[in-house]
Amino acid sequence: MTPTLSQKHPRGLYVLFFAEMWERFSYYGMRAILLLFLLDNVRGGMGLDAVEGAAIYGIYTASVYLLALPGGWLADNIFGQKKAIWYGGLVIMLGHIILAIPGATSLFYLGLVTVAIGTGLLKPNISSVVGELYPEGGARRDAAFSIFYMGINLGSILGITVVGYLGQKINWHMGFGAAAVGMLLGLIVFRYGSQKYLKGYGDVPAAKIATAESIAKDGSDRKLGYALVAVLVVFLAALQLTGTIDMTTARGLAQGAGVIIVSVSLFYFLYILIAGGLTDVEKKRVLVLIVFFLAAAIFWAGFEQAGSSLQIFAERYTQRTIGGWEMPSSWFQNFNGTFILIFAPVMASLWIFLSARGINPPTPVKFAIALLLVGTGFFIMEMGSKVAVTGQLASPLFLTFTYLVHTIGELCLSPVGLSSYTKLAPKRYVSQMVGIWFVAASLGNLIAGLFAGGFDEENLQQMPALFHQVTMFSLGFGLLLLIFWKPVKNWMGGIS
């Protein structure tokens, strides 16, 4: 850490930076080899077909982010953010230890569930503490989230490189075990760094510092909130009874999970708007968060193809041999993290530079740019897939340039969106709203997994059309948001 950086940002940011780096080491390392392990029938993998394997992959990656919502609630109401981060890290480490043990299928699924629960507890709360370090908001706060984002991607590079190599070249379970070691390092950093540099942050649950007026308002609206929850339960039960949700196959379970995620998100936003005791200004800001939620879900549905359809494309249809050495296909996922490390400081400086001159693009415009870029990336993949259907291996440049434009899009949406959620969310619901932000990623991951189920080798000729669908949908929503950015910005109530 240089003196210049320490003057610009509190040291607590770097404690969170390194803790998150090691947590992401475990997550992205795991993600890099998960689908390959599920599909492998040669080296001790599970030998599933593409449809089932991709569905399980989607359920896992979606669950990791979906559980951020109850994780945020537990921090807001019981633990406080710092304890939630600590407990979450311990649970993640335990999950990876279970995954490192070769054994029954049930043991493997237990490990996946354990990792997902721990990540849901840790992920939203470490981001909330970053926001708490910058109560003044502004471009400096956005820049801090970009720096924090560099920690995420440094961890992803290390995780994909180490875990990907161990899993693909040596032993799957050794790769899973390496992820546990990464999480242990993250816990050590957080334990000792937070004691010195994060005193007074994330200690007390938000519910315990609510005002007397807000508590009285909560009491009057509680019955309405319970009514909304009851309607949600009845709605989900009806879906099950009518056969809309099919729990008999992994793909059916994933499709049902998508319905559940959309339903839970809708009812949660309704609960906050109707029974959350919000002022009119806060309600308009929550409406903005809903728009951002939809945009983020669409973005992640394309972007998170990195671990599903793009991983399959790298494994089966991309030239990976250099001399006599074949690069592990999972390493292609490192392009994203590498480009983040290169461009994150550039983008963070760009936002501050533009803000100082009064020309910083509003957040809705940045979201629109992100969607246009992810659509452009899939147009590139559409061209690459047209090479693959001829029977030739596609150049690695197709994936390289796709990851490049996706990364720039990610930097326009993810750190900016995370910062916006911490700024626009009502004070008493900050961690829960950050959890909702990750639910958008959950929905996107689930869609990405389901989409990859179409990448069966028998359906090779359909690949260009599949990529084309993602291209058009992303470009369409991006253009729509670009057209209506002014009303969305006005609802933000002066927060930028």
Residue 441 clears pLDDT 70, i.e. is over it: yes
Listed range (78-92, 188-202, 234-248, 306-320) with the worst mean pLDDT: 234-248
**Would the pLDDT of 434 be above 80?**
no
In tens, the pLDDT along 181-195 reads: 888 988 998 888 888
DSSP output for 319-347: --EETTEEPPGGGGGHHHHHHHHHHHHHH
Mean local confidence (pLDDT), 140-160: 81
Entry field: residues in the chain = 496
Mean pLDDT, residues 287-297:
92
Weakest mean pLDDT among 33-47, 432-446, 449-463: 449-463
Check residue 1 and give its pLDDT.
37
DSSP line for 136-189: T-HHHHHHHHHHHHHHHHHHHHHHHHHHHHIIIII-HHHHHHHHHHHHHHHHHH
The pLDDT value recorded for residue 218 is 52
Res. 208 pLDDT band, cuts 50 70 90: low
The reported pLDDT for the residue numbered 219 is 52
Stretch (H or E) spanning 47: none
**Domain covering 11-491, topology:** Growth Hormone; Chain: A; (1.20.1250)
Q: What is the pTM of this model?
A: 0.78
319: left (phi over 0), alpha (psi -120 to 50) or beta: beta
Q: Which range (110-119, 173-182, 407-416, 418-427) has the least confidence?
A: 418-427
CA atoms within 13 A on the CB side of 251: 12
Residue 24, amino acid: R
Tens-place pLDDT, residues 128-146: 888 788 876 666 776 777 7
pLDDT tens digits for 93-135? 999 999 988 877 888 889 999 999 998 888 878 878 887 888 7
- The residue ranges of every structural domain in the chain are 11-491
Position 6 scores a pLDDT of 40
Q: How far apart are CA 286 and CA 433, in angstroms?
A: 9
Residue 2 scores a pLDDT above 50:
no
Asked if 446 contacts 58 with a C-beta cutoff of 8 angstroms, the reply is yes
Lowest mean pLDDT among 100-114, 143-157, 370-384, 408-422: 143-157
Burial 407-429 (b: 16+ CB within 10 A, else e): bbbbbbbbbbbbbbbbbbbbebb
User: Taking Cα atoms as reference points, which of 272, 241, 271 lies closest to residue 256?
Assistant: 241
Model pLDDT for residues 454-482, shown as the tens digit of each residue: 666 666 777 888 889 889 989 999 999 99
Which of 105, 87, 106, 108 lies closest to 183 in space, CA to CA? 87
Region 316-331: mean pLDDT is: 88
What integer best gives the mean pLDDT of the chain? 83
Confidence at residue 91, expressed as pLDDT on a 0 to 100 scale: 95
